[in-house]
Amino acid sequence: MRNRKLLNLCSNDYLGLASRGPVPGQPQASSRLVSGSDPAHTTLEKALARHAGTGAALLYPTGYMANLGAIQALVRKGDRIFSDELNHASIIDACALSGGRVSVYAHNDMDELRRMLKRCRGRAHVITEGVFSMDGDMAKLIEITELARGRASVILDDAHGDFVCGRSGRGTAELLGVRGKVDVYTSSLSKGLGSFGGYMAAGRDDVKLCINGSRAFIYTSALPAHIARDALRRISADAEPRRRKLAENARRLSEGLLDAGFRAGSDSHIIPVHVGGERAAVELGRQLAREGVFAQPVRYPSVPRGKARIRISATARLTKGHVEGALEAFGRAGRRLGLV
């Protein structure tokens, strides 16, 4: 520590096995606030703050824990929370644990959100995903940030848009031109970045509040330092060619599925193929597997009853042959089941 060797008497590496592993350096067998911190963490946090355009950032072991930790720390008991009805389970759980009073507005319904904010008195927060994980559509961030101005903070979970959307991969807020109007970002390092972990980014005071009051940060072992170094290396890489390829693949998949007669398509790389019944969605998944395509059915409780679907996640690794072959497989499976 600071060029001095110290005897560590506060690690949870009880059998001394972590320090004997394949990765050199201080093992993350403790909380960051005890002995789990490593220079790689702070270096990555500075890079993430620059990426998000905020004063500071804070790492969490996963994106789920970033939502849990940031919302629980930043929302005071009695604060009003306005949450989109299709928000991820981690947001729902975080809101429940926060002590805030939660009001759920219909998905992307700006008229309902406007009415809720107009009636609100006191501290308030609007929480939304950027790219919604099950439907693949985007939050109306231009309208949300305008409605919230002077009335509420805006907390954006951009796990599915971060590193993917926007001119330089800075997410849905960059894509929609509202980067400076979002107060708190939460995100994942395991999706668009292809590494592991999660983070929140905000002003320095909010990050300090999370460091000292976020239970999901304080009471868990730190993200392994070698993973932090991996994430840092990936942030520094030029991902623009991959973003262009991803957009091309997503566009072709959406168009091809619609042309084949499926109720499908979205404006992002998450493409739901709507089936409706749970059994029908499961059977379509089975038929696709027979065709050599792994595309999992999503059903209740992940989505409402009667709204089961196959959820496609386009990636930049797909070749033109992969995409066209997948579309042919969907067509054959859909015709066998009478879906198209």
Name 294's Cβ contacts closer than 8 Å, sequence gap at least 6. 288
Percentage of the chain beyond pLDDT 90 is 85
Rounded mean pLDDT of 146-153?
97
Residue 103 annotated to the active site: no
77 has catalytic annotation: no
Structure tokens that stand for 23 in this block: 């990765």
Residue 274: active-site member: no
What average pLDDT does the structure give for the chain? Answer: 92
Choice among 35, 133, 195, 214 that is catalytic: 133
The whole-angstrom distance between residue 259's C-alpha and the CA centroid of its chain comes to 30
Question: Rounded mean pLDDT of 285-304?
Answer: 91
Mean pLDDT across 157-171: 96
Q: Quick one: average pLDDT of 83-91?
A: 97
Work out the pLDDT band at 15, boundaries 50, 70, 90: very low
Q: Which of 41, 51, 125, 160 is catalytic?
A: 160
**Residue 261 amino acid letter:** G
Choosing from 88, 191, 269, 307, the catalytic residue is: 191
Which structural domains are found in the chain, ordered by start?
Answer: 25-236 (3.40.640.10), 240-336 (3.90.1150.10)
Question: The whole model's pTM is what?
Answer: 0.92
Whether residue 308 contacts residue 273, with contact meaning beta carbons closer than 8 Å, is answered with: no
DSSP-assigned beta bridge partners for residue 297: 310
Mean pLDDT is lowest, of 4-13, 212-221, 239-248, for 4-13
Confidence of residue 9 (pLDDT cuts 50, 70, 90): very low
Positive/negative CA dihedral, 107, 111, 115, 118: positive
Q: Phi and psi at residue 93, in whole multiples of 5°?
A: -65, -40
- Round to whole Å and give the CA distance between 271 and 280: 18
Which pLDDT score is estimated for 1? 56
Within the chain, what is the greatest distance between any pair of CA atoms?
70
Q: According to the model, what pLDDT value does residue 26 have? A: 58
Residue type, 126: V
